[in-house]
Amino acid sequence: MKKLFSALSCLLLALIAFCPVISLICTAFGYKFTLVNPSVFAIAIFVLTAITVLVSIFYKEVLENKVICTVVSALTPMALINTGFYVRSCGILWILASVLICVGCGYLTIRHGSPLNVRTGALVLSAGLLLPMALICFVLSVAGKTQNYNILDTVDSPTGAYYAEIIDNNQGEKGGTKMVHIYPEKDIDTDVFQIRKKRIIIYEEFYKANEADKVEVVVQWKDDNHLVINGKNYSF
């Protein structure tokens, strides 16, 4: 039971820390990290949290491994930080699930976290993160509702060094925007996540409500640094 709990705790921290850590590294090097299916990843964390809590309830012995105790102490603040990486994609269901995950991690930290100063510091940090994370979750969930990105087409440059995405951001009664984003072709694209260079927004055209079909965006590449959009030359 001790080995099972230790393995589950380490795996849970790895999953919870995955998005914040990878996103921070990618941002530092000018890349954008995106989960392909954040809902599935969120459900996996939720299920793993539930299993770890259940094992903890039946595990009556005092946890003595200092490394595992520190890992368990880190679960609560990391779970709060992790919440913001899913809200925009998963919406209200993930907000509810994240509350249960944070409660579960809080229980694990209180029961098994040590030494006392590390556990206390983790809980104090978590308390300090509650209000900022609640505001971030609210802002991201509202922002997500006002955006409906749809990739209409993808056009590669002549040598394949770049590609242009034609995107429709339809906001319903507020109208919307059709845009052209430029990305380098060198992406890391897996079944779990994507890592790609930050986009270059080279073209935007606004339209009124119910007039999306009236706005057409035609993209043609001249070379890897110049393209023609609706008959007008653009370079980057």
Are 121 and 218 members of one domain?
A: no
Q: Parallel, antiparallel, or unpaired: how do β-strands 193-197 and 31-35 relate?
A: antiparallel
Average pLDDT over residues 150-173: 88
Tens-digit pLDDT profile for residues 94-139: 667 777 888 898 999 988 888 888 889 988 988 888 777 777 666 6
Tens-digit pLDDT profile for residues 12-22: 999 999 988 99
Domain count for the chain: 2
Are 137 and 179 members of one domain?
A: no
Are 73 and 106 members of one domain?
A: yes
Last-in-domain residue among 103, 121, 145: 145
> Residue 148 above 90 pLDDT?
no
Are 29 and 101 members of one domain?
A: yes
Are 130 and 60 members of one domain?
A: yes
SS3 228: strand
Are 108 and 220 members of one domain?
A: no
Tokens of 135: 């505001």
Q: Collect all residues with Cβ–Cβ distance below 8 Å to 202 and sequence separation of at least 6.
A: 164, 180, 181, 182, 227, 229, 234, 236
Are 193 and 87 members of one domain?
A: no
Q: Where are the beta strands (DSSP E) in the chain?
A: 31-35, 149-156, 162-170, 176-184, 188-189, 193-197, 200-207, 219-223, 226-229, 232-235
Average pLDDT over residues 223-228: 91
> Residue 161 above 70 pLDDT?
yes
Match 């057409």 to its residue by tokens.
Answer: 216
pLDDT at residue 131, as a whole number: 79
Handedness of CA 6, 9, 11, 13 (dihedral sign): negative
Contact 154, 163 (CB under 8 A): yes
> Residue 11 above 90 pLDDT?
yes
Tens-digit pLDDT profile for residues 37-85: 777 888 889 899 999 999 988 877 777 788 888 999 999 999 888 877 6
Q: Collect all residues with Cβ–Cβ distance below 8 Å to 183 and sequence separation of at least 6.
A: 162, 163, 164, 165, 196, 197, 199, 200
Are 103 and 165 members of one domain?
A: no
Report residue 142's pLDDT band, with 50, 70 and 90 as the boundaries.
low
Last-in-domain residue among 128, 145, 162: 145
Last-in-domain residue among 80, 115, 145: 145
> Residue 26 above 60 pLDDT?
yes
Domain hosting 207: range is: 149-235
> Residue 154 above 80 pLDDT?
yes
Are 156 and 184 members of one domain?
A: yes
> Residue 86 above 80 pLDDT?
no
Sheet holding 226-229, edge to edge: 219-223, 226-229, 232-235
User: What per-residue string of b and e applies to 141-166 under the rule 16 or more CB within 10 Å gives b?
Assistant: beeeeeeeeeeeeeeebeeeebbbbb
pLDDT at residue 13, as a whole number: 94
Match 């939720």 to its residue by tokens.
Answer: 46
Mean pLDDT of the chain: 84
pLDDT at residue 102, as a whole number: 85
Are 137 and 165 members of one domain?
A: no
pLDDT at residue 164, as a whole number: 92
pLDDT at residue 144, as a whole number: 55
> Residue 143 above 80 pLDDT?
no
Average pLDDT over residues 218-235: 92
Are 44 and 110 members of one domain?
A: yes
The Cα 201–Cα 182 span in angstroms is 6
Are 70 and 21 members of one domain?
A: yes
**The pTM is what?**
0.70
> Residue 220 above 90 pLDDT?
yes
From the list 14, 22, 4, the residue with the least C-alpha distance to 78 is: 14
